[in-house]
Amino acid sequence: MKLLVIGSGAREHALVWKLSESPMVNKIYCAPGNAGIGSLAECVDIKAEDIEGLLNFALMQKIDLTVVGPEVPLVAGIADAFEEKGLRIFGPGKAAARLEGSKAYAKEFMQSYEIPTAKYGAYKDFDKAVAALHTYGLPVVIKADGLAAGKGVIIAHSRQEAAEAIESIMGSKKFGEAGSTIVIEEFLKGREVSVLAFVDGNTAIPMVSAQDYKRALDGDLGPNTGGMGAVSPAFAYSESDEEIVRREIIDKTLYGMKQEGIIYKGVLYFGLMLTDDGPKVLEYNTRFGDPETEVILPRLQTDLLHIMNSVIDGKLEKAEIRWSDDRAVCVVLASGGYPEKYDTNYEITGVQAAAEDAMVFHAGTKNSEVKLVTAGGRVLVLSAVGEDYDKARDKAYAAAAKVNFRNVHYRKDIGIK
């Protein structure tokens, strides 16, 4: 089979790596890809948002299956466009992707189908949003409604900070049109867990759990990022939690989608908070998480391409999906200043040496003449597996110590319970 993977980050590198293990694969293209992906797939200079360009390429190359990594093309309707031309694609259609594309819609959906989540309000008017702050306790969560690359969430610890957050999102347009509407939520206390599931419209099969580290600095301090590391399985996710999540969240979400007339096919990500009142949904993502993918896929023992075909064909119920009992830890090496202002184009050294200890997934890299250089906020993701968290963690950090580029930054507390 000829595959096309869409995206340019570490998640896509992990997907290409796992798909390349399938005996059914003859050729993989990645658009646009990155320097690391280029060792496993042929990179094509088409942006992930260029749906027409990607569609024409898939038709011309007679691609057997397209796998979509990032959220932007999914929310824009790439799956619908490909399916209209008779092309197989792994990822939900535009209507289903609204679960990620609009936080206000997602909250309304959860309320309609009694899916446990935080108390909230959605606001299009700045003055009404500020006036509503007194109805929430502190801290309070302010979210841009639309896509903001994982950075559109601000946790405010005072009314003034909350009002400033609303102004930055709605007034100063920090996240562009994604902030035309905002969602204000009560702050949930507990432990965060990421649960991803394969979904074929009728059946949902959860993957092994993961735990993402979203804050930029050690001790969960600093601004929210797209993710600074992850572990799998999550530290505090019990069998009892699994049963509740399956019954009250995953099954109800699938039921709700069907009631809305939407056949959801692809991966559905549940960002959860394990509270004293039970698991609650923080957010939906309608694709593989990043960096969760980089700790989940190393534990997958079943052919990923076979699973994806089962999803598309509506035969997921018959799929046998196996996982290793290993623990996995990944550490993100970022550009200094991320997620705010940072510089790029710095030479990266030590990648080959790091690969002796961990899997090296490229996030923001490019080849410049004969050098590998930085090309993004998150630069590399170093993933390791071991029989326990400490062994996996030691491998990941041993790899991190071998990599160097100017202003490299990474958290030192990933994988510590």
pLDDT, one tens digit per residue, over 188-208 is: 999 999 999 999 999 999 999
Tokens representing 167 are: 């102004």
pLDDT band at 126 (very low <50, low <70, confident <90, very high): very high
Averaged pLDDT, 388-408: 98
pLDDT band at 114 (very low <50, low <70, confident <90, very high): very high
Kindly tell me if the per-residue pLDDT of 287 is higher than 90.
Answer: yes
Tokens representing 233 are: 């399985």
Q: Which helix (H) or strand (E) holds 104?
A: helix 103-112
Task: Indicate the fold that domain 119-186 takes in CATH.
Answer: Dna Ligase; domain 1 (3.30.1490)
pLDDT, one tens digit per residue, over 160-182 is: 999 999 999 998 998 998 899 99
pLDDT band at 397 (very low <50, low <70, confident <90, very high): very high
Crossing angle of helices 10-20 and 304-312, rounded to 10°: 100
CA distances from 67 to 19, 87, 133, 308, 411 (A): 10, 11, 41, 9, 30
Kindly tell me if the per-residue pLDDT of 369 is higher than 90.
Answer: no
pLDDT, one tens digit per residue, over 301-319 is: 999 999 999 999 999 999 9
Domain locations in the chain as residue ranges = 2-98, 119-186, 191-318, 327-409
CB atoms inside a 10 Å sphere around CB 407:
13
pLDDT band at 256 (very low <50, low <70, confident <90, very high): very high
- Say if domain 327-409 classifies as CATH 3.30.70.580: no
pLDDT band at 149 (very low <50, low <70, confident <90, very high): confident
pLDDT band at 7 (very low <50, low <70, confident <90, very high): very high
Cα separation, 263 vs 91, in Å, equals 11
Task: Indicate the fold that domain 2-98 takes in CATH.
Answer: Rossmann fold (3.40.50)
CA distances from 213 to 83, 210, 398 (A): 35, 10, 19
Kindly tell me if the per-residue pLDDT of 95 is higher than 90.
Answer: yes
pLDDT at 227: 94
Sign of CA dihedral 293, 298, 300, 306: positive
Cα separation, 155 vs 251, in Å, equals 29
pLDDT at 236: 86
Which among 388, 384, 397 has a CA at the least distance from the CA of 417? 388
Cβ–Cβ under 8 Å, residues 20 and 26: no
pLDDT at 212: 95
Cβ–Cβ under 8 Å, residues 69 and 15: yes
Q: For the chain, report the end-to-end CA distance as a whole number of angstroms.
A: 42
Cα separation, 347 vs 361, in Å, equals 17
State the chain's mean pLDDT as an integer. 96
Cα separation, 29 vs 367, in Å, equals 18
Averaged pLDDT, 105-129: 96
pLDDT, one tens digit per residue, over 221-239 is: 998 888 999 999 999 899 9
The share of the chain scoring above pLDDT 70, in percent, equals 100
Q: Which amino acid is it at 39?
A: S
Of the options 3.20.20.70, 3.40.50.1220, 3.30.470.20, 3.40.50.10300, the CATH number for the domain spanning 191-318: 3.30.470.20
pLDDT, one tens digit per residue, over 63-85 is: 999 999 999 999 999 999 999 99
Q: pTM for this structure?
A: 0.96
Cβ–Cβ under 8 Å, residues 41 and 33: yes
